[in-house]
Amino acid sequence: MPTTEHKPIWVAGKPVKTEPLELKNPVTGETLAAISQAGPVHIEQATAAMSEALSHGRRWTSVDRQRCCERVLRFVMKYQEKFIKTIVAEAAKPVAAAIVETQRAITTLELSLQESTRIGGVQMPVDIDAAHRDYYAVVERVAVGPCLFITPFNFPLNLVIHKIGPAMACGCPFILKPSERTPLTALLLGEALAEAELPEGFWSVLPCSRQHIASMVADDRIALMSFTGSAKVGWELKAQAGHKAVVLELGGNAAVIVEPDVDLEDAADRITAGVFGYAGQSCISVQRIMLEKGIAAEFTGVLVRKTQALKAGDLLDSQTQIGPMIDEVAALRIEKWVADAVEQGANVLCGGRRRGAFYEPTLLTQVPENSPLVGEEAFGPVAVIQHYSTLQEAIKLSNASRYGLQAGIFTRDLVKAREAFELLAVGAVVINDVPTTRSDALPYGGVKDSGIGYEGVHFAVEHLTRYKTMLTRTVPVPKSSK
């Protein structure tokens, strides 16, 4: 979809064209579009308008919020094909994966629409002591205030909607700062927001350079910042955020445990997809595969066979399973990590070669524990195979990571499944599937360096709202005078 179109940013709901920056297709190098860039003036305008819009948002009824979510949902459904092609072009995502992301985004919007009518409160009894016998109280959840949402490149539609959908559902004005690598999808979504009849000044979509993010993060007019991205950047932003609430969805180093009582073909199918889907560029991609020693040799053979059978090719071909990484710099990093591991004694079972931004699906064994392939987030098409004797040893290996987002275990033994759930230091444990599995309705968040807070529409709304109490004294009826 190469074009010379000059795309505007959205400032307080209005399209604004500024000095453009060329956006390149990461595969072909062709210019996709010229993207306007927000500067300090636009950021100030957006922040001031958002602060002003908060009072309107708080007077927004449930049906108002519901209708706005519904309009955005209808837009995304109507233009699904355009969203899919945009994701493929700017994120180098195979079309089959882009279709899945777009369908998930529709589900996330449907959840937001449903949640918009469920944000209520409770009547609390306060006549529990004599001093308050004449009082009653109502506790409601209200919008926390203006929000800043910063999103990554790897899911440029669904991860954006995981932030703005709950914000619309509960009436929080917002600025969306999309990844500099994938702004087109967010700007297309801006067209949906423009048709949604949100309160004036309620929203902005501001592609901008990293140097301008700091001013937004530090601005006290913003009540909450939600960031999805690398752990290093996330914790740095939290340190700059002052007193505002912060939600961080950061990195992962996902492990999957395979017990000997499972269907090896089924487990290998799921793990292959969990490692190499979208070139491993997901924070819950499988990075560490833990095999019980009795099945390790057989299972490894099955896994290598399935990995080597993965189909590369044209990203617009629905049969293509693997594509390039987001850029050559990312592929070079994986190439170096693998080369360093091999130098220290690791064995490459398959893959291990790079062509430009494309890195072959790679499996390794005997990787030293100090390798970043074991301890850091690879965020690429590579996984490490480790062996264990007991489930307790596998759990210990899984927990030996500074990350704790999701983990998986394949087993038919309910006792072992429960033990894994209780002892794995992660936000979610997936039984009989890979940790790459995520339902958009469930709470999604990790422990340790994987972040703080949760996504998943209902749980995001809890962060985006706060309790507010109305305490009322029952006044005596005045005596009539004669």
The set of residues, in sequence order, having a beta carbon less than 8 Å from that of 459 and lying 6+ positions away, is 443, 444, 445
The confidence score (pLDDT) of residue 1 equals: 45
CB 57 within 8 A of CB 49: no
Three-class secondary structure assignment of the chain: CCCCCEECEEECCEEECCCEEEEECCCCCCEEEEEECCCHHHHHHHHHHHHHHHHHHHCCCHHHHHHHHHHHHHHHHHCHHHHHHHHHHHHCCCHHHHHHHHHHHHHHHHHHHHHCCCCCEEEECCCCCHHHCCEEEEEEEEECCCEEEECCCCCCCHHHHHHHHHHHHHCCCEEEECCCCCHHHHHHHHHHHHCCCCCCCCEEECCCCHHHHHHHHHCCCCCEEEEECCHHHHHHHHHHCCCCEEEEECCCCEEEEECCCCCHHHHHHHHHHHHHHHHHCCCCCEEEEEEEHHHHHHHHHHHHHHHHCCCECCCCCCCCCECCCCCHHHHHHHHHHHHHHHHCCCEEEECCCEECCEECCEEEECCCCCCHHHHCCCCCCEEEEEEECCHHHHHHHHHCCCEECEEEEECCCHHHHHHHHHHCCCCEEEECCCCCCCCCCCCECCEECCEECCECHHHHHHHHEEEEEEEEECCCCCCCCC
pTM: 0.95
Q: Which residues of 91-100 are buried (b: 16+ CB within 10 A; e: fewer)?
A: bbbbbbbbbb
CB 290 within 8 A of CB 388: yes
Greatest CA span in the chain, whole angstroms? 102
Stretches in the chain below the pLDDT threshold 50: 1-2
Please tell me the distance from the alpha carbon of residue 353 to that of residue 213, in angstroms, as a whole number: 36
Identify whether 115 is a catalytic site residue. no
What is the total residue count of the chain?
482
Please tell me the distance from the alpha carbon of residue 275 to that of residue 257, in angstroms, as a whole number: 13
Domains of the chain (ranges; CATH) run: 6-250+450-469 (3.40.605.10), 254-431 (3.40.309.10)
The confidence score (pLDDT) of residue 60 equals: 86
Rg (CA), the chain: 25
Please tell me the distance from the alpha carbon of residue 144 to that of residue 161, in angstroms, as a whole number: 18
Q: What angle do CA 174, 206, 113 make, to 5 degrees?
A: 40
Measured CA to CA in angstroms, residue 22 lies from 11, 36, 68, 183, 209 at distances of: 20, 9, 32, 11, 13
CB 404 within 8 A of CB 306: no
Of 188, 252, 249, whose CA–CA distance to 401 is shortest?
252
Angle in degrees, 0-180, between the axes of helices 414-423 and 391-399, rounded to the nearest 10: 30
Residue entry with tokens 């064995």:
347
Annotated catalytic residue: which of 69, 283, 360, 377? 283
CB 126 within 8 A of CB 132: yes
Residue entry with tokens 């899911």:
155
Residue entry with tokens 């950047």:
233
Encoded amino acid at 343, one letter: E
The pair phi, psi for residue 362, each rounded to 5°, is: -130, 135
The confidence score (pLDDT) of residue 210 equals: 86
Please tell me the distance from the alpha carbon of residue 138 to that of residue 122, in angstroms, as a whole number: 6
Annotated catalytic residue: which of 115, 249, 360, 455? 249
The confidence score (pLDDT) of residue 481 equals: 56
Measured CA to CA in angstroms, residue 43 lies from 12, 54, 91, 101 at distances of: 10, 17, 25, 29
Identify whether 283 is a catalytic site residue. yes
The confidence score (pLDDT) of residue 167 equals: 97
Cβ burial of 204 (10 Å; 0-12, 13-18, 19+) is buried
Pairing, β 403-404 against β 447-448: antiparallel
Please tell me the distance from the alpha carbon of residue 182 to that of residue 412, in angstroms, as a whole number: 41
What order of strands is seen across the sheet that includes strand 31-36? Answer: 6-7, 31-36, 20-24
The set of residues, in sequence order, having a beta carbon less than 8 Å from that of 208 and lying 6+ positions away, is 37, 38, 39, 42, 43, 177
